[in-house]
Amino acid sequence: MFITSEVCAFVIIDVSPHLNAFPSPEQILQVLTKRDASFDMESQDILPSSASLEQMLDGLPSVPGDSSLAVLDPLIPPVSLYNEVDIPTPETDSRGMSVYARAVDALLLVLLNDRHWAKTNGWALRHLLALALYADDLIRVPSSQSPIFAGTVSKAMLNDLVTRSKQVAAYVLSTSAQDEGWHAAVVSAITSGDDSHLDAVGALVYGLVSYGKRFDTVRESRILHVVLEHVFGNASREDAQQWAQLGRALERQGPFSYHVYKPPAEADWRLLAPHTSLAIVYSVTQHAPEPPLLDRYRNELAAGIFGVPASKANTQGLWLLRRLAAAAPDSESDIVFLPQPRAVNLMKTCQQWITSDEDIDEAIESEMTLVFLHLAPILENVPGAHWDLVFDVMENNLEVRVLDAGVCLCSSLLVPEFDP
């Protein structure tokens, strides 16, 4: 008897959820991968193709299932900075898993059992990390809408998927990027558009950034950050400098350029891949040695904020604040966030926005709070009206959150009136 890989994939993904016996993908894989006289195949041969998986993932909503997740992940922007869509309820099996979730679960099982294949097929990590991302978001905010899981899915199953996905990702990524010149080669490939000489993980990073240049999705920027977090473990300051340059180059519309950043004019203020750029800069700041470029970059961002009028605060101002917060060093480090005079001027600009007659979005005040966190140690001995601004913004943020929580609570308590 000869069984094709297409038939096996069909059984795992499309048929198994509807069988009365309810065999799990794990059980089907175990049977199909046993060496038997009736058929002989490699475990990876029974999986959907990489093209099929990419088509499934690209067809899923890439925005977070709940805007409140932005509180937990700095790479999730305010709703005003991405196109919010209604996430449809997925068709799922009895376990609460969609077609894509089952396919990637099967892929995960194969990768766990074949580490060599995992190391040589970096493309698979995009799907593992996407699965972990969707699962983790649902764990954090159970009321959020997931495009690949039903609301009834077991939390234990979600935790297991996250744990196993991160286990494979950590193994593959920790053993990559060890060669001298790896980072320079990847950055060079991204800027030139030629990935023919990259290893599996390098090709994965190349693919994520290239995808970001075309579509710039929030989901892929978050996946890119997870990958860079691991590969930056052995990066030098020179490597970090090149990545920071790449992140800046992705900010602006047009060809790659490593020229000094200049605040864009109001008429042509457009961004090439802001989410992807932010993920790279944030990853460098958090996980790589501080490169010289970041100090200049922070000062240029602050100077750019000075020139933004209140009428542009919700657009230009918001992105500049987000990038400045992403480039902020660890508060426990010896790195100076901004010189004191520049910090004072930044506070003045924020105060002008808040006290203006413009309708300033709540997202602006939320981003201001993140920046204030890093400005406070610099200004602790400087008296002035900026402290009133800090407390006013914090109070406004708390009031908004309390009101939002109250609306949710009231909605949940609403019951039909009793009609005797």
Average pLDDT over the chain, rounded to an integer? 85
pLDDT over 60 (residue 320): yes
pLDDT over 60 (residue 5): no
As a three-state string, the secondary structure of 363-375 is: HHHHHHHHHHHHH
Residue 361 maps to a domain: yes
Question: Sorting pLDDT into bands at 50, 70 and 90, what band is 32?
Answer: low
Rounded to 10°, the helix 123-140/200-214 angle is: 60
pLDDT reported for residue 278: 97
350-387 burial, b at 16+ Cβ within 10 Å, e below that, comes to: bbebbeeebebbebbbbbbbebbebbeebbeeeeeebe
Q: Whole-prediction pTM value? A: 0.86
| CA 362 to each of CA 86, 94, 327, 401: distance values in angstroms, whole numbers, following the listed order | 22, 41, 22, 10
Residue 322 maps to a domain: yes
pLDDT reported for residue 307: 94
pLDDT reported for residue 35: 56
DSSP-derived letter for residue 251 is T
Residue 262 CB-half CA count within 13 A: 6
Question: Sorting pLDDT into bands at 50, 70 and 90, what band is 39?
Answer: low
pLDDT over 60 (residue 351): yes
Residues 6+ apart with CB under 8 A from 311: 358
Residue 307 maps to a domain: yes
pLDDT over 60 (residue 412): no
Residue 149 maps to a domain: no
Residue 19 maps to a domain: no
More confident residue, 259 or 46: 46
Residue 402 maps to a domain: yes
Residue 321 maps to a domain: yes
Q: Nearest-CA neighbor of 258 among 242, 235, 273? A: 242
274-302: pLDDT as tens digits: 999 999 999 999 999 999 999 999 999 99
75-128: pLDDT as tens digits: 999 988 887 788 999 999 999 999 999 999 999 999 998 889 999 999 999 999
DSSP string computed for 115-166: HHHHHH-THHHHHHHHHHHHHHHHHH-TTS--SSB-TTS-HHHHHHHHHHHH
Residue 338 maps to a domain: yes
CA distance 414 to 401: 20
Q: Residues 190, 206: contact at Cβ < 8 Å?
A: yes
Q: What residues make up the domain containing 370? A: 297-408
225-252: pLDDT as tens digits: 999 999 999 999 999 999 999 999 998 7
Count of domains observed in the chain: 1
Q: Residues 256, 249: contact at Cβ < 8 Å?
A: yes
